[in-house]
Each structure stands twice: as structure tokens, then as C-alpha cells.
Amino acid sequence: MYVPKHNLMTDRDEMIAFMQDHPFAIVISGSGSRPVATHMPVVVRQRNDDVVCTFHLSRANDHWKELTGGETLVIFSGDHAYIPPSIYTAIDVPTWNYTTVHAYGDSAIVTDPEAVRDRLRTLIEIHDADPGLWERLTPDLVDPLLGGIVMVDMRVRELQGKHKMGQNRSAADQEAVRIHMESLRSRP
């Protein structure tokens, strides 16, 4: 990813927090004849210096077969918006501002049924508002479905982050961008 110095995210903890705050990501692999991408929720876990992205695919989605033996890229995207030149103090060209983190690593299929169940539980506990849901998802309900998914752990080797929010512009223009972005969030 092209990242000018003034847009570069260098704080690893900031990038990990961003990934955790924006878990619906694009998983990309390219070990076949062309790149393959799947949009999915990703659980980001940090243990000491290791960062692991965990996700699962439907067994019917052949993308999982592409995920071993080559590099995997997971793209996390945050707020983004068209920035009209009319908000700047002086006329300029329009642009698009955004934040994104790219995680590169090696993927491995998780085969142990208890490990698959544990990762699925973590995904549900992170995203479901009902804290007791997992306990109500009894084994007779969950176990038959486990054969229909493929759980994947990707150990992150490299993180690249880009925060393009007008850092190269004047303080007045940066404030105008902030206000513009907030106004977009408040729209129904």
C-alpha cells in the first residue's frame, strides 16, 4: 500500500486497536491463478508480541483452500469519505480520506474441534449483545454446523497502517475535515 510519511501509522497498539474496532474485513489470498477475496468478521487477538487474526469460511467457499501455502492479506477499513474542496480555506482538488490497516501473514487451518468451538465462542461473545447466547447454543445445535465451516488462524508478520485525514493541510483545513467527517456520521 502506498503510504506517504504524513499518513503513516507507526504505533502497533493503535493499529491492533483499530483492527479490533473494525472487525469486518476483507481476506485476500493469491496462491492460485488470480487473487481471491472474502468479506468476513475477523477476531484479532494479541498474545505478547504475537498478533493472530481468526476467521471462518463456509466449507462450500473454496477460498479456504487458497489460504495455506501462501501469504494472506487482511484489510481492515474504517471511516472514509469524499472530501469536497469547498470545505478548505482555499480552493483545492477533492480527495477521499480514510483509515485502513493491512495485516500480512501466514494462515493455518484449525482442525481441533475444541479449538474451533472456542474460536467460534469468542466471535459470538465479541459481537453479540446477548452475553448468555453461547450457553444457549447447545452442542446438539452447534456441533452439526461445525463441519460446514473452516476455521483459520493467520499469524500476522507485518502491519501497515494509513490514516489519511488531511495531515498535510493547515490546522483550519484539518478542523474542517474533522467537522465534515462528523457531520457524515450523524446522518441517518
Domain map of the chain by residue range? Answer: 5-185
CB atoms within 10 A of CB 166: 22
Whether 87 and 127 have beta carbons less than 8 Å apart is answered as: no
Span 22-58, pLDDT tens digits: 999 999 998 667 889 999 999 999 988 999 999 999 9
Q: Indicate the class that CATH gives domain 5-185.
A: mainly beta
pTM for the structure as a whole: 0.90
Task: Tell me the pLDDT tens digit for each residue of 133-176.
Answer: 888 888 888 888 899 999 999 999 999 999 998 888 999 998 99
Sequence-ordered alpha helix ranges (H) in the chain: 12-21, 63-66, 113-127, 133-136, 139-146, 171-185
Q: Which three cell numbers stand for residue 152?
A: 483459520
What are the C-alpha distances in Å from 88 to residues 98, 165, 176, 179?
17, 13, 7, 11
Distance separating alpha carbons of residues 97 and 177, to the nearest angstrom: 9
